[in-house]
Amino acid sequence: MFSGRSVKSGHEDAFLLESVIDEKTEAVCDAGKGSENMKILNTPLKVGSLELKTRLVMPPMATEKTADGLVNGDILRYYDEKTRSGGLGLVVTEHVYVSPEGKASPRQISAAGDDAVEGFKKLAGVIHRNGVPVILQINHAGSMTQADPETEKISCSAVINPRFAARGIRILPRAMDIEDIERVRDCYVKAAVRAKAAGMDGVEVHSAHGYLLNQFYSPLTNLREDEYTGATVEGRTRLQCEIIKAIREVCGKDFLISVRLGAADHMPGGSEAGDVPEAAERFQKAGADMISITGGLCGFILKDREQGWFSELSEAAKAGTELPVLLTGGITDAYHAEKLLEEKKADLIGIGRALLTDSELPAKMIKE
């Protein structure tokens, strides 16, 4: 520092100028130093019984790389590449189907049979070897299934799915009765048991992007009048809570359970931010360890927004629960990720498509 020093000669002027430049250069360098400036991104976080090394998460992204539903070499190589460089605190795998009638797409991975366990073991092994914990995202597509045409389509109510309808696909599902609900709940639990048997650290229950549990959550698709009623948040979250409780009972307290909540439909009459605190509180009471926030029937993309598209919704989730909240959507750099954490919009940040483009991005973000 030069404070208090008077400038007496040209030489000293030059010296002063150079020092000012040095100070400025230092300031610029400091602004880019990840380990000092990306403070929260680099801070470990306890989620359930796991200690995550960083706040960056690989969110679920379907690879569509299997023809027979089983994990194969292509899938293992892909997850190895995404986790090898470091920087990630957690991986949430792509969604896997819990029963054949709930298959979302022809090349989706299956968790519907015990033959899935061997592949899941290898998948967990690859990701663990790179020092990252992994949870399996489990899903039933409900009225958004692309199962064989002969397979009966089911949903909470006989309503054409608005997300499919927007793509010109109009399938009228049969409304599930209580036996269907119990059977599907059981399929989620069996899938979680398979994940645990394979050495995965937990599961994520998919209740977003228009799939079955989102169909229960959205007042646009849930027209039920029984205890799963679409008229209250309690009814709209009952099945998710039953699934969480049942998985907790069978898989134990150290098995991480996350819920991915499609927190708002962004459609008239759909789910909205005001519902989120109560939903989050209910998931916590049911035994969840973490809440992941994304879109509902609108899907996972919202255009013309700042990075962290669903940040109002993740903030709403934080208002209802002490559980760690993960926010994903449009985040591509360390500055915005850190800012969202600093502003307490979320505790964890998902990096999806940007990680597809650059496998080393998380490592760069925390070192930057």
Ligand X SMILES: Cc1cc2nc3c(=O)[nH]c(=O)nc-3n(C[C@H](O)[C@H](O)[C@H](O)COP(=O)(O)O)c2cc1C
User: What positions carry a catalytic annotation?
Assistant: 211
CB of 175 to ligand X, least distance (A): 25
Of 104 and 235, CB closest to ligand X: 104
Minimum CB distance to ligand X, residue 189 (Å): 20
> Cα Rg for the chain, rounded, in angstroms?
23
DSSP 267: S
Residue 233 Cβ vs ligand X, minimum distance, rounded to whole Å = 21
Between 47 and 104, CB nearer to ligand X: 104
Please report the sign of the dihedral spanned by the C-alpha atoms of residue 264, residue 208, residue 276, residue 346. Answer: negative
Asked if residues 62 and 299 have their Cβ atoms less than 8 Å apart, the reply is no
Complex with ligand X: residue 181 or 293, whichever CB lies closer = 293
Nearest to 334 by CA among 33, 80, 90, 91: 33
Helix-strand-coil percent breakdown of the chain, rounded to 5? 40, 15, 45
Min dist. Cβ of residue 278 to ligand X (A):
22
Cβ neighbours of residue 20 closer than 8 Å, sequence gap 6 or more: 2
Rounded Cα distance between 296 and 310, Å, is 11
DSSP labels for 55-90? SEEE--------SSSS--HHHHHHHHHHHTT---SE
- Residue whose C-beta lies closest to ligand X: 352
* φ, ψ of residue 348 in degrees (nearest 5): -140, 150
> Residue for token digits 């940007």?
354
Q: Please report, as ranges, the residues that interact with ligand X according to CB under 6 A.
A: 59-62, 94-95, 137, 206, 208-209, 260, 294, 300, 328-331, 350-354
- From 187, 198, 167, select the one nearest 103 (Cα to Cα): 187
Residue owning tokens 């990840």: 34
Q: Whole-number minimum distance, CB 324 to ligand X, in Å?
A: 17
Residue number, 224 or 316, with CB nearest to ligand X: 316
Q: 187: which 2 tokens? A: 């399929």
CA distance 123 to 219: 37
Please measure the distance between the N-terminal and C-terminal CA atoms of the chain and give it in whole angstroms: 26
Which of 109/220 has CB closer to ligand X? 109
- H or E segment to which residue 109 belongs: strand 109-110
**Closest separation in Å from C-beta 131 to ligand X:** 22
Length of the chain counted residue by residue: 368
Q: At what angle do helices 178-197 and 116-129 cross, to 10 degrees?
A: 50
Residue 364 to residue 368: CA distance in whole angstroms: 5
CB of residue 111 to ligand X, shortest distance in Å: 12
Cβ proximity to ligand X: between 59 and 320 the closer is: 59
